[in-house]
Amino acid sequence: MARNKEALVLVLDVGPSMHSVLPEIEKVCSLMIQKKLVFSRYDEVGFVLFGTADTKNELTEEVGGYEHVTVLRNIKVVDEDLVDALQSLPRGSVPGDFLDAIVVGMDMLIKKFGQTNKGKKRLCLVTNAVSPIKDPFEGTKEDQVNTIATQMAAQSMKMDCVIVRMKQDWETNRRVMEENDFLMSVFSNKSSSKVVYVESSTSLLGALRTRNILPVTIYRGDFEISAQLKIKVWVYKKTSEEKFPILKKYSDKAHPTDKFATHEIKVDYEYQSIGDPNKVVPPDQRIKGFQYGPQVVPISSTELEAVKFKPEKSVKLLGFTDATNIMRHYYLKDVNIFIGEPGNKKAILALSALARTMKEMNKVAIVRCVWRQGQGNVVVGVLTPNVSDKDNTPDSFYFNVLPFAEDVREFQFPSFSNLPSSMQPNEKQQEAADKLVQMLDLAPPGKQEVLPPDFTPNPVLERYYRYLDLKSKHPDAAVPPLDETLRKITEPDVELLFRNKSIIEEFRRSFELKDNPKRPSGSDEEREEFDKDADAKAIDSMEYSSKTKVEKVGDVNPVEDFEEMLSRRDDPKWINKAIHDMKNRIFDLVENSYEGDTFHKALECLVALRKGCILEQEPKQFNDFLCHLSKFCQEKDLRSFCQYLTSHEITLITKAETPDSEIPKHKARSFMVNPALDLQNMKSEAKAENET
């Protein structure tokens, strides 16, 4: 039997209370079989229905009882007929007994496989569990469940219980539901059973496990705390990205009568000599070349192997740090889990003691990992303690890869609080935005989370598999419309939007929305006029953009160049460079003026510099520059420019405009009256006043 081959028995409740959700169950089960045809075409699946008017199973014939349980299909390899059978399930007419159905499903697996196929036999029960269970001939219902669970564990069987509870189900007999939920919990505690409760068709789609994915260790060895202390650990992948299946190339050129044709395409490559294109170069005469500037440097495989970094297989502790020092957005790649070596009680106990101590002290561990011998790279990551609240589950660690310095991208964005008061929201606008966010909360307090991650499938993959099945039957079929279940994942909830229409309207009224005009496609004069208007608006809103990236503040359009450089976020250096270039440009305009002919342009540049320093939280750079410029004008007999600035009320950036400034508002007014005041003295006086 294949390593991942699974034997599955689907046990479905088709009683009257399930009729409303059976269409969704049909689609979900059909999709599950379609996926098995893609990923696990050798898996074997059987079907048991309970709640049917008829009775058809071997246990009824052999020992009696087990009424209203029907074996729709015995355990066989998955095929297209099974998909078709699932798309039209019969509707039952009597309440179903899920314990009887479970026993029938177990009997099918035992008769088919016996003690073989250990760990790969699975039952999947889908019911709402609102119908009462028949009383046993001897003992209690709990005793009966314990007996079934013990037998299930002895046969190495697993069971997934999907309890589908819609809104109408909660209005039925709560006493029966609570009793059935208790019996389900006994299964969970006494055997390898997992119980899942779902309340929507979307959650149902993600609750049914499609494939049996066996965990594979990526590391087995020592977790080295120090040279004297080592713990035996196993490392598994906790999560991984689910990708599209590999699509191989297919050819229809094989002869129709060839029964052994695989239709697969094999690709071969030939390397030919440049000097003689007809000569094929064999593998032993080839050598790899690496680009180095304009040259290609040949390096043989022997040399390449010699310079490779080959660290030893190990997991070593580098140190501990507070959990608050490791941000969630630092995590890279998938999550792994560290557990103590199974069966090694000392290792499990040591790892548990370490995890609990770190949890109490709010610490995480930084570790250096080389998963296998000869691995070409070293991974540095963080271990976060995962303390278990179950007696039969040991404590463990979650491992996340951390970035190296070269992987970190620092993007500096100015704070909204530093914007001018005219650009900040008022109380009414803030309240409208708060209501809108609360309305769209997927996990509102007191209610079940909408689209829980554990039960929300990838809609792209789900739609792909459905279309793949349709295409296999009808090659010319067009892409069908989006299924209603997938629509709930990919589109806003219509009912939610309708219920909160007043909140959306209030938000819309609180903010003025403007269309972004498109560049006209008419004459050159119209486009030129449009560009002028767009440039003027861009200067006012600090949102100027250009097709070509500006790298210095030029002479022609210094303000536009300055704002374009400030808007660049590919490197933090552009902010300081823009401010530095603008300072030099202002000095040149002032110093080279003739009877004040460039004062107006210098003023525009100074206004843009002031605004940019406020937005980028750089008040000190502007204040120091303005004082330096004032002293320069006093020394060079350019007092007329100082008077020009005073008449236009250009002054220092105050603390009211940005918290990083050390200049109070009244001191800034003093500077406007007398630009010769010393900035350092003003800061000292302001500090003394604050202390007083």
- Provide the pLDDT for residue 669: 67
Question: 59 and 200: one domain?
Answer: yes
Considering the domain architecture, whether residues 347 and 374 belong to the same structural domain is answered as yes
Q: Are residues 499 and 565 in the same domain?
A: no
The 10s digit of each residue's pLDDT in 126-138 is 998 888 888 888 8
For residues 203 and 225, membership in a common domain is answered with no
Residue at 175 is within a domain: yes
Same domain, 71 and 178: yes
pLDDT tops 50 at residue 541: no
Please tell me the predicted confidence (pLDDT) of residue 542. Answer: 40
CATH code for the domain of 572: 1.25.40.240
Classify residue 521: in a domain, yes or no.
Answer: no
Q: Of 483, 510, 537, which closes a domain?
A: 510
What percent of the chain stands above pLDDT 90?
21
Residue type, 85: A
Q: Regarding beta strands 157-164 and 121-127, do their DSSP bridges make them parallel or antiparallel, or are they unpaired?
A: parallel
Task: Give the DSSP per-residue string, 590-605.
Answer: HHT-STTTTHHHHHHH
Residue with tokens 């770190």: 358
pLDDT tens readout for residues 239-251 = 887 787 777 778 8
What the block records as the tokens of 31 is: 């999709």
| Count of domains observed in the chain | 4
Q: Report the alpha-carbon distance of residue 309 to residue 610 in Å, rounded.
A: 52
Between the CA atoms of 576, 579, 583 and 586, what dihedral angle is there, to the nearest 10 degrees? 160
Kindly report the pTM of this predicted structure: 0.61
Residue with tokens 């993959």: 461
Cα–Cα–Cα angle for 120, 121, 124, rounded to 5 degrees = 120
In a domain, 376, yes or no: yes
Q: Which of 163, 198, 200, 168 lies closest to 182, judged by CA?
A: 163
Q: How far is CA 513 from CA 30, 506, 507, 508, in A?
A: 47, 13, 11, 8
Alpha carbon of 451 to those of 241, 455, 498: distances in Å? 18, 7, 19
Residues in a beta bridge with 70: 49, 56
Do 572 and 667 belong together in one domain? yes
Categorize the per-residue pLDDT at 354 as very low, low, confident or very high, splitting at 50, 70 and 90.
Answer: very high
Task: Say if residue 569 is in the same domain as residue 501.
Answer: no
* 57 belongs to a structural domain: yes
Q: In the predicted model, what is the mean pLDDT of residues 179-195?
A: 85
With respect to residue 450, please indicate whether it lies within any of the assigned structural domains: yes
Closest alpha carbon to 335 in 392, 404, 386? 386
Position 379 scores a pLDDT of 93
pLDDT for 232 equals 95
Residues 449 and 401 in one domain: no
Residue predicted with more confidence, 214 or 554: 554
Judgement on whether residues 487 and 597 belong to the same structural domain of the protein: no
Q: What is the CATH number of the domain that holds 491?
A: 1.10.1600.10
CATH number for the domain spanning 112: value is 3.40.50.410
Residue 336 clears pLDDT 90, i.e. is over it: yes
pLDDT tens by residue, 276-308 = 888 888 888 888 888 888 899 999 888 888 888
Q: What is the pLDDT of residue 366?
A: 97
pLDDT at 549 > cutoff 80: no
Token digits of residue 493: 């909830």
Average confidence (pLDDT) over 392-412: 87
* Residue 203 and residue 221 share a domain: no
Domain-embedded: residue 552 = no
The arithmetic mean of pLDDT across residues 525-534, rounded, is 57
The mean of the pLDDT values for the chain is 83
**pLDDT at residue 223, rounded to an integer:** 95
What mean pLDDT do residues 182-197 have?
84
Give the per-residue pLDDT at 1: 43
Task: State the pLDDT confidence band at 665, using cuts at 50, 70 and 90.
Answer: confident
637: left (phi over 0), alpha (psi -120 to 50) or beta: left
- Check residue 301 and give its pLDDT: 85
Which residue among 185, 207, 229 closes a domain? 207
Residues making up the chain, counted from first to last: 692
Rounded mean pLDDT, 228-257: 84
pLDDT digits (tens, 9 = 90+) for 581-596: 888 888 888 888 777 7
What percentage of residues in the chain have a pLDDT greater than 70? 89
User: What's the domain range around 159?
Assistant: 6-207
Give the pLDDT mean for 160-177: 77
The predicted pLDDT at position 547 comes to 43
Confidence (pLDDT) at 115 = 76
Is 348 found in the same domain as 445? no
CATH code of residue 342 = 2.40.290.10
Residue 514 has pLDDT above 90, yes or no: no
Angle at the Cα of 373 from the Cα atoms of 386 and 332, rounded to 5 degrees: 40
Check whether 414 has a pLDDT greater than 80: no
Does a structural domain hold residue 518? no
> What is the predicted pLDDT for the residue at 532?
55
Q: Would residue 29 count as lying in a domain?
A: yes
Mean pLDDT, rounded, for 562-582: 81
Each residue of 301-317: pLDDT tens digit?
888 888 888 888 999 99
**Residue where a domain terminates, one of 481, 510, 539:** 510
User: What pLDDT, on the 0 to 100 scale, is given for residue 283?
Assistant: 86
Q: What is the pLDDT of residues 436-458, one digit of tens each?
A: 999 888 888 877 788 888 888 88
**59 & 155 share domain:** yes
Q: Looking at residues 469-490, what average pLDDT do you find?
A: 86
pLDDT confidence of residue 648: 79
